[in-house]
Amino acid sequence: MRKRTKRLTLVLMMSLLISLVAGCGGGNNNGAAENKGTNTNETKATNEGEAGKETLKKVKLTWYLVGDAHKDQDKVIAEWNKMLEKDLNTTIEVKFTTWNDWMTKYNLLLTSGEKIDMIFASNWADFYKLSKQGAFLDLKELLPVNAPVTWGNVPKQDWDSVTVGDGIFAVPNTNSEYTPDGYVYREDWRKEFALPEFTDLASIEAYMDAVKTKKNIAPINGAAYENVNRLFRFWNDFQMISGEIIGATSYENPRDIKIVPFTDEYEAWVKKMKEWQQKGYWNKNSLSSKQEAGDFIKTGQGAIYWRNPSSAGGFINEIKAKGLKMDIGYFPFTRFHNYVIPTLPIANGMAIPKSSQNPERSLMVLDKLRNDPAYFNLMTYGIEGTHWAKGEDDKTIVIPAPGVDLNETPRYDIASWGWRYEGNMKNEKGGWDGLDALKEEFKPISKQDIFGPIYLDYEPVKTELAAVNQVFEQYGKPLMLGLTPDIDASLKTYREKLKAAGVEKLLAYVQAESGKYFDEKGIQ
């Protein structure tokens, strides 16, 4: 009887063991089946969104981007919200700062307490300063859970670029770029005038002089300040550290930090700009004009427009797509001194303000936006069949879609830079091939950005900073464009006003803080 009981017990135990093993094996097989074909980031993001949809309460988010909305923005956002509502039970209102006085608006958004769930972030939009001041949420604990695909495909060094103290305060884009300034210009006119290619200030001046005298057109039509100021900085190799006032005298001398308007180079430049203004290279209303110089090139009433290589490519592609009868060239200012500084990863990114009420959901949306091609294409290139169409392969698109007139439906070109992911970027069929050539030109002359990461809190000199900026707006901008009757007297007044505003105290602060950073990094 005992033997029979033991045998029965043994059979039951074996049956239970077999059942458990089968159960484990069945679980593994099911898992393999579920993961089959989901080895791409895009599918993983989609599956995670679908899996969590039923557990997500419906929310409405507010996102902010810099710049201007597109003519068809409402249509694009409506399509995006259909996708979001289905996948993540979410809708989003996307707002824009516009480019008019955008920096003031941007800072106000982050200090006013307005409920914002995601905002464009960049080192050129004071990312480091704002992070130190607590404007953004620390995402370190949220990212692996709510944006797992992005957490996995952003390189460590890029995460390091958005780490301030012990926190991660933004999601950088993953699309390495070189973005030096340069000029797009009428290459067909340069050839018509039999002028040499741009190499220096004299060759640029010769071209503008010919445009004015032979075409009777202001070469820099519309808003002119940035077109002139950026040329000034690159030609003289000034590395600006604090706005338009304080900077290093060159890349090779990072610790030689000066008040730029007090330098001999600045004095010589504003005198030269007075000559250019008197020759009619830009109009007297150039400071108040709201129209970009590029708009006048398109209508045959302008000849020069500052752009970085990527935006130059977009401009040239638009000229081609519209069938405008002109040949556009591009000259990067890097050729003045034969080096280029690559953009920091946080040159373009997305951050979550501390006022956000739904940071987890906002990260889930960003994860989809970066990594799901359907989301990425819609918000980066617009509506398929209208703003673009598929090309001959997955990496090529046609802009605009066949049968669409760019004059009626402009190129979709919002500030999508913050979520760009190189794996999803497209090439434009028939587009400008100069961008690839420039990348090859830049690679061997690339130098580390030693100025971008310098953090300036300005708290000890905030009064002086505000006063100096006011003086710059009132006196510095007109002087840069030669719009004052007496340059010597205006320069003297400008310098006196800067001193009275406390610019020397501001200089001492910038020198001290920059020195700390250079010491930390071993930069001489």
Q: Residue 91 belongs to a domain with what CATH number?
A: 3.40.190.10
How far apart (Å, rounded) are the C-alpha atoms in residues 301 and 518? 46
370, 296: one domain: no
Return the pLDDT at 39.
Answer: 32
Q: Read off the amino acid at residue 462.
A: K
How far apart (Å, rounded) are the C-alpha atoms in residues 392 and 432? 17
How far apart (Å, rounded) are the C-alpha atoms in residues 274 and 271? 5
In a domain? residue 8: yes
196, 318: one domain: yes
196, 302: one domain: yes
120, 191: one domain: no
H-helix or E-strand containing 96?
strand 90-96
DSSP state of 289: -
Return the pLDDT at 37.
Answer: 30
How far apart (Å, rounded) are the C-alpha atoms in residues 368 and 419? 10
Which ranges of the chain have pLDDT less than 70? 1-54
207, 338: one domain: yes
Return the pLDDT at 129.
Answer: 86
Asked if the peptide bond before residue 400 counts as cis, ω within 30 degrees of 0, the response is yes
255, 349: one domain: no
H-helix or E-strand containing 163?
strand 163-164
Structural domain boundaries enclosing 503: 459-521
272, 315: one domain: yes
- Other Cβ atoms within 10 Å of 149 Cβ, number: 21
3-state secondary structure of 93: strand
Cα 127 from chain centroid (whole Å): 12
Could you tell me the maximum CA-CA distance found in the chain, to the nearest angstrom? 120
What digits encode the pLDDT tens for the residues 70-112? 999 999 999 999 999 999 999 999 999 999 889 999 999 999 9
Residue 216 near residue 241, CB atoms below 8 Å: no
In a domain? residue 43: no
For residue 413, what are its two tokens? 């070109």
DSSP 127-138: HHHHHHTT-B--
Alpha-carbon torsion, ordered 238, 243, 245, 247, to 10 deg: -30
H-helix or E-strand containing 329?
strand 328-332
Burial of 390 (0-12, 13-18, 19+ CB in 10 A): middle
For residue 375, what are its two tokens? 């989301």
In a domain? residue 166: yes
Q: Judging by DSSP bridges, how do beta strands 396-398 and 427-428 pair with one another?
A: parallel
How far apart (Å, rounded) are the C-alpha atoms in residues 233 and 180? 11
Q: Read off the amino acid at residue 135.
A: A
Crossing angle for the helix pair 359-371 and 373-381, nearest 10 degrees?
90
How far apart (Å, rounded) are the C-alpha atoms in residues 451 and 454? 6
Q: What's the number of domains the chain is made of?
A: 4
How far apart (Å, rounded) are the C-alpha atoms in residues 342 and 233? 17
How distant, in Å, are the alpha carbons of 293, 343, 348, 424, 434 from that of 308? 14, 11, 14, 21, 12
How far apart (Å, rounded) are the C-alpha atoms in residues 413 and 382? 8
How far apart (Å, rounded) are the C-alpha atoms in residues 246 and 506? 9
How far apart (Å, rounded) are the C-alpha atoms in residues 209 and 303? 11
Angle among Cα 127, 130, 132 to the nearest 5 degrees reads 110
In a domain? residue 451: no
Residue 239 near residue 250, CB atoms below 8 Å: yes
364, 261: one domain: no
How distant, in Å, are the alpha carbons of 4, 296, 349 from that of 174? 70, 33, 9
Return the pLDDT at 44.
Answer: 40
- Other Cβ atoms within 10 Å of 515 Cβ, number: 15
377, 249: one domain: no
How far apart (Å, rounded) are the C-alpha atoms in residues 89 and 49? 9
Domain endpoint, select from 395, 420, 445? 445
For residue 340, what are its two tokens? 């280029």
In a domain? residue 111: yes
H-helix or E-strand containing 259?
strand 257-259
366, 283: one domain: no
Alpha-carbon torsion, ordered 479, 483, 489, 492, to 10 deg: -10
In a domain? residue 376: yes
Q: Judging by DSSP bridges, how do beta strands 118-121 and 59-65 pair with one another?
A: parallel
In a domain? residue 452: no
In a domain? residue 89: yes
For residue 465, what are its two tokens? 């900073």
Residue 145 near residue 382, CB atoms below 8 Å: no
311, 227: one domain: yes
Q: Read off the amino acid at residue 225.
A: Y
Angle among Cα 89, 375, 421 to the nearest 5 degrees reads 125
325, 466: one domain: no
Which of 99, 55, 347, 136 lies closest to 225 in space, CA to CA? 99
Burial of 512 (0-12, 13-18, 19+ CB in 10 A): exposed
